[in-house]
Amino acid sequence: MKLHELSLKEQLTGLKEGSFSSTELTQHYLDRISNFDKDLNSFITVTEDSALNQAKESDKRYKSNKALPLDGIPIAHKDIFCTEDILTTCGSKMLSNFKAPYSSTVVSNLSSDGVVVLGKTNMDEFAMGSSNETSFFGPVKNPWNKEYVPGGSSGGSAACVSAQLASAATATDTGGSIRQPAALCGLTGIKPTYGRVSRYGMIAFASSLDQGGVLARSAEDSAILLESMSGYDPKDSTSLNEDVPNFLENLDSPIKGMKIGMPKEFFERDLPNHVESSTKEAIETYKDLGAEICEISLPNVDLSLPVYYIIAPAECSANLSRYDGVRYGYRCENPKDIEDLYMRTRKEGFGAEVKRRILIGTYALSAGYYDAYYLKAQKCRRLVANDFTEAFKSVDLILSPTTPDTSFKAGEKSDDPIEMYLQDIFTIPANLAGLPGISFPCGNHEGLPLGVQLVGDSLKEAQLFQAAHQFQKVTDWHKKLPEVK
């Protein structure tokens, strides 16, 4: 078996047993990146020298029996996570020259556990997009079929893991940006409970919705990585002061008797046959595993999309006001006065989708519209969240398709914002309620993968990993990988 075909867990075992060194593994991935990524465009920055240095240090630790929990595993970071002295662009011209002066907590946590960082992955600009076509650094291709998009906003992270150019990758999810690309690229992706993973040094889009997480090839690999990333961080005032359980402990426990709800509002939608059948097949698998399946109702879930597209742009318009061309990032040429400096820097530095959202958010927060839009959306957000609270009184997990369909062709939806927004119809509700959600592969249609999503109650990531792992023990969708040429 080739090194890139091994799972993260198998690679850890191989490193521990001395079957190969981290230097060999890292060089192997760097070679694959240089062979295949020109075309896929999943990386914005490849940190070859520092990766090989980190690998060398890791090999030394293995030799002196001082290995760290994730020692020598080569991963990639979404370019939304600040990495000290390394370019951190967030997919934008605005930050195209920005070398972060400090590292995010996610990056620091993983580094203290010994990972090797291969580089920074491409993404939709400021994480706004569902196809990775809004990046200033060009679109990312789906390794399953290069005419198709990898999803977004964590499209680079998804494409590089799917193409086996990294063992796993970090990602973020504001409305589906981990789970949707996971589904479109045939990966397992988890968005944990809001507050589980520190947002310190994670460039803000919509602060009450953003959450860091993982894209990997299996539930088990995701669990290993998420455990290292998670934990209370005094530098993030919304970080949850809760112990991180051992996410691996219950992976092998049977799920017999676990109650899984299917929201009827999701299944009443006009789903394509292949989406419906693969989701139903996943449900059958869960029945065979001993889970109890029942229909539930989330009566207000249809409000999620409009609620999201008020709240996220409102928060984004406030967060992105910091990009003014004064202290860091892009600045326009020859500003004639301070106003011109602001207005032209922001005109030239932001792409079309980011500007649309800033304008919508500014409108929703402006005098005279605040109550009608922003306040109304916040009240409706409560209704959506309450539906979940009610549902979790009778079920453990909630199952649905992750996306309305398989991937779509590049350019197909890029001129129609609303069509693009509909990509996240099944994923947004969990962000509004702050709940953990996982997507994993459950089928394939015409050569493109399909994903199924499980949403759990607050802090129940371990249960999500367990349910996904049990599914992956009896299916092999997650083992199918694209042949990269």
Partner 1 sequence: MALSDKELNEIAYLARINIDKDSFPALKGELEQILDLFEKLNLAETDEVEAMSHPLNLSQPTRPDEVTEEDQREKLQETAPSVQSGLFLVPKVIEGEN
The footprint of partner 1 on residues 24-53 (CB under 8 A) is none
Question: Is residue 103 within 8 Å of 82, Cβ to Cβ?
Answer: yes
Which span sits near partner 1 by CB under 8 A: 11-19, 57-65, 91-99, 463-471?
91-99
Interaction of residue 293 with partner 1, rule CB under 8 A? no
**20 vs 102, which CB is nearer to partner 1?**
102
Task: Give me the sheet containing 259-263, strands edge to edge.
Answer: 43-46, 116-121, 74-78, 168-173, 211-216, 188-191, 437-445, 448-456, 397-401, 259-263, 292-296
What's the CA gap between 255 and 244, in Å, rounded?
21
- The b/e string for 447-473 (b: 16+ C-beta within 10 A; e otherwise) is ebbbbbbbbbbbbbbbbbbbbbbbbbe
Nearer to partner 1, 285 or 378 (CB): 378
Q: Which token pair is 13?
A: 């075992």
Q: Which of 131, 154, 177, 278 is catalytic?
A: 177
270 contact partners, CB below 8 Å, separation of at least 6: none
Give the ranges where 168-218 is alpha helix by DSSP (H).
179-185
Residue from 63, 256, 287, 347 touching partner 1 (CB under 8 A): that is: 347
Burial (CB count within 10 angstroms: exposed 0-12, middle 13-18, buried 19+), residue 145: middle
Contact status, residue 99 vs residue 144, Cβ threshold 8 Å: no
Q: Does position 376 bind partner 1 by CB under 8 A?
A: yes
Ramachandran sector of residue 90 (left: φ over 0; alpha: ψ -120 to 50; beta: rest): left
Taking a C-beta distance cutoff of 8 angstroms, is the pair 32, 57 a contact?
Answer: no
Return the residue of 16, 66, 379, 480 that touches partner 1, per CB under 8 A: 379
78 is catalytic: yes
The 3-state DSSP class for residue 382 equals helix
- Contacting partner 1 (CB under 8 A), which of 57, 328, 412, 444? 328
Q: Of 202-221, which residues contact partner 1 (CB under 8 A)?
A: 208-209
- Give the contact letters, 382-401, x = binds to partner 1 (CB under 8 A), - = no: xx-x----------------
Asked if 317 interacts with partner 1 (CB under 8 A), we say yes
Q: Segment contacting partner 1 (CB under 8 A): 146-154, 156-164, 234-242, 466-474?
A: 234-242
Does 269 help bind partner 1 (rule: CB under 8 A)? no
Residue selected from 50, 335, 444, 475 as contacting partner 1 according to rule CB under 8 A? 335
Interface pick for partner 1 out of 417, 444, 473, 475 (rule CB under 8 A): 417
Single residue of 329, 351, 436, 443 touching partner 1 by CB under 8 A: 329
Does 356 bind partner 1 (CB under 8 A)? Our answer is: yes
CB of 153 to partner 1, least distance (A): 18
Q: Closest approach of Cβ 105 to partner 1, in Å?
A: 14
Tell me which residues in 169-208 interact with partner 1 (CB under 8 A).
194-195, 208
Cβ-based nearer residue to partner 1, 89 or 167: 89
Please state the three-class secondary structure of 351-374 as a single string: CHHHHHHHHHHHHHHCCCCHHHHH
The verdict on 10 binding partner 1 (CB under 8 A) reads: no
Among 18, 66, 138, 359, binds partner 1 (CB under 8 A): 359
Q: Any contact of residue 322 with partner 1 (CB under 8 A)? A: no
Pairwise CA distance, residues 320 & 322, whole Å: 5
3-state DSSP of 205-227: CCCCCCEEEEEECCHHHHHHHHH
Q: Does 321 bind partner 1 (CB under 8 A)?
A: yes
Closer residue to partner 1 in complex, CB, 137/350: 350
Stretch that binds partner 1, among 175-183, 222-230, 332-340, 441-449 (CB under 8 A): 332-340
Contact, 480 vs 474, CB < 8 A? no
By CB under 8 A, is residue 366 in contact with partner 1?
yes
E strands of 156-201, at which residues?
Answer: 168-173, 188-191
Tell me, yes or no, if 153 is annotated catalytic.
yes
Tokens of 322: 């910091």
Question: Using an 8 Å Cβ cutoff, are 221 and 211 in contact?
Answer: no
To partner 1, the closest distance from the beta carbon of 459 in angstroms equals 11
Do 330 and 97 touch, CB atoms closer than 8 A?
yes
Q: Which residues pair with 108 in a beta bridge?
A: none
Q: Report residue 417: phi and psi, to 5°.
A: -55, -40
| Binding test (CB under 8 A) with partner 1, winner from 147, 252, 340, 390 | 340
Q: Does 316 participate in binding partner 1 (rule CB under 8 A)?
A: no
Binders of partner 1 among residues 421 to 480 (CB under 8 A) are 421, 432-435
| Amino acid, res. 38 | K
Residue 337 engages partner 1 in binding (rule: CB under 8 A): yes
Which residues are at the interface with partner 1 (CB under 8 A)? 97-99, 101, 194-195, 208-209, 234, 237-238, 240-241, 300, 302-303, 305-307, 309-310, 317, 321, 324-331, 335-344, 346-347, 350, 355-356, 358-360, 362-363, 366, 373, 375-383, 385, 417-418, 421, 432-435
Catalytic residues: 78, 153, 177
